[in-house]
């Protein structure tokens, strides 16, 4: 085993020496011949030139901003105008209703008035009519105010000769004087009643007037 190892080591050393010698020869040849030609050729091929610095690459401009697309407003088509024919209802004509006829009952026929009795003896006043209303009957307020005038009157006289009603037919212009005249006449007037053809007493009327005059002192 040791002999074999020594034999192998000697061979390796020899191989290494041979390789080194080969490399040395090649190196020498390269230096002396080949290297000279190569250097000469390289020196002839080499040319001096100015190396210009390449300009920096231009920056690309920024892309334009995206344009906003404005959508046009939608076209609104108005609906077609439909003309609707108006329907007019006929006017309501109110027919006036005639009121029911008014039936007026026929008044019964009045019996004919009794015949006017024939006056055989007219009505006659008793005493003096001028004394039925005297200056003492003058209302004091009218006397102080100086009220004067004439009261015309009508007396309804019964069959007994007494006055049953007094009517002022023409005023004196002062109601107090007219009222006073009727009061006195109803109290004081007396008559002989009128009589018909048979001699029976019958009612009648009497017309006269009272003159109111303030007495002089």
Averaged pLDDT for residues 149-163: 95
Per-residue confidence (pLDDT) for residue 1, from 0 to 100: 44
* Residue at 6 is within a domain: yes
* Residue at 34 is within a domain: yes
* Residue at 17 is within a domain: yes
- Identify the domain containing residue 179 by its residue range: 120-212
* Residue at 112 is within a domain: no
Q: How many CB atoms lie within 10 A of CB 133?
A: 24
* Residue at 159 is within a domain: yes
Per-residue confidence (pLDDT) for residue 24, from 0 to 100: 76
* Residue at 156 is within a domain: yes
Q: Which residue has better confidence, 28 or 18? A: 18
- Contact between 199 and 120 under an 8 Å Cβ cutoff? The reply is yes
Distance CA(206)–CA(125), nearest Å, equals 9
Of the chain, the end-to-end C-alpha distance in Å amounts to 216
The CATH number linked to 166 is 3.30.2420.10
The tokens for 154 are 């009508």
List of residues 6+ apart from 128 with CB closer than 8 A:
none
Q: Rounded mean pLDDT of the chain?
A: 78
* Start-end of H helices in 79-174: 140-145
Residue whose C-alpha is closest to residue 210's, from 165, 180, 175, 188: 180
pLDDT (tens digit per residue) in 24-76: 777 766 666 554 454 455 444 545 445 556 566 666 677 777 676 667 777 76
* Residue at 114 is within a domain: no
Range from 29-33, 120-124, 136-140, 167-171 carrying the lowest mean pLDDT: 29-33
Residue whose C-alpha is closest to residue 168's, from 187, 142, 150: 150
pLDDT (tens digit per residue) in 70-107: 677 777 676 677 666 666 666 676 667 777 777 777 77
How many domains does the structure of the chain reveal?
Answer: 2
The C-alpha R_g of the chain, in whole angstroms, comes to 86
pTM over 0.85: no
- Contact between 203 and 122 under an 8 Å Cβ cutoff? The reply is no
- Contact between 208 and 129 under an 8 Å Cβ cutoff? The reply is yes
Which of 3-7, 36-40, 197-201 is most confident?
197-201
Q: How confident is the model at residue 188 (pLDDT cuts 50, 70, 90)?
A: very high
């Amino acid at each position: 085993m040791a002999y074999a190892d020594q034999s192998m080591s000697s061979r390796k050393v020899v191989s290494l020496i041979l390789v080194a010698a080969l490399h040395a020869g090649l190196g020498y040849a390269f230096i002396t011949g080949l290297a000279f030609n190569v250097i000469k050729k390289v020196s002839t091929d080499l040319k001096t030139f100015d190396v210009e610095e390449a300009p920096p690459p231009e920056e690309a401009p920024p892309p334009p901003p995206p344009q906003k697309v404005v959508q046009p407003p939608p076209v609104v088509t108005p609906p077609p105008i439909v003309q609707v024919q108006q329907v007019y209802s006929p006017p309501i004509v109110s027919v006036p209703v005639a009121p029911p006829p008014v039936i007026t009952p026929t008044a019964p026929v009045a019996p004919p008035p009794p015949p006017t009795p024939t006056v055989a003896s007219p009505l006659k006043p008793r005493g003096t009519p001028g004394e039925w209303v005297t200056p003492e009957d003058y209302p004091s307020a009218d006397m102080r105010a100086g009220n004067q005038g004439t009261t015309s009157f009508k007396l309804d006289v019964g069959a007994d000769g007494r006055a049953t009603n007094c009517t002022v037919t023409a005023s004196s212009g002062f109601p107090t004087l007219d009222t006073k005249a009727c009061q006195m006449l109803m109290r004081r007037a007396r008559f002989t009643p009128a009589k018909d053809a048979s001699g029976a007493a019958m009612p009648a009327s009497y017309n006269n007037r009272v003159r109111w005059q303030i007495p002089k002192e």
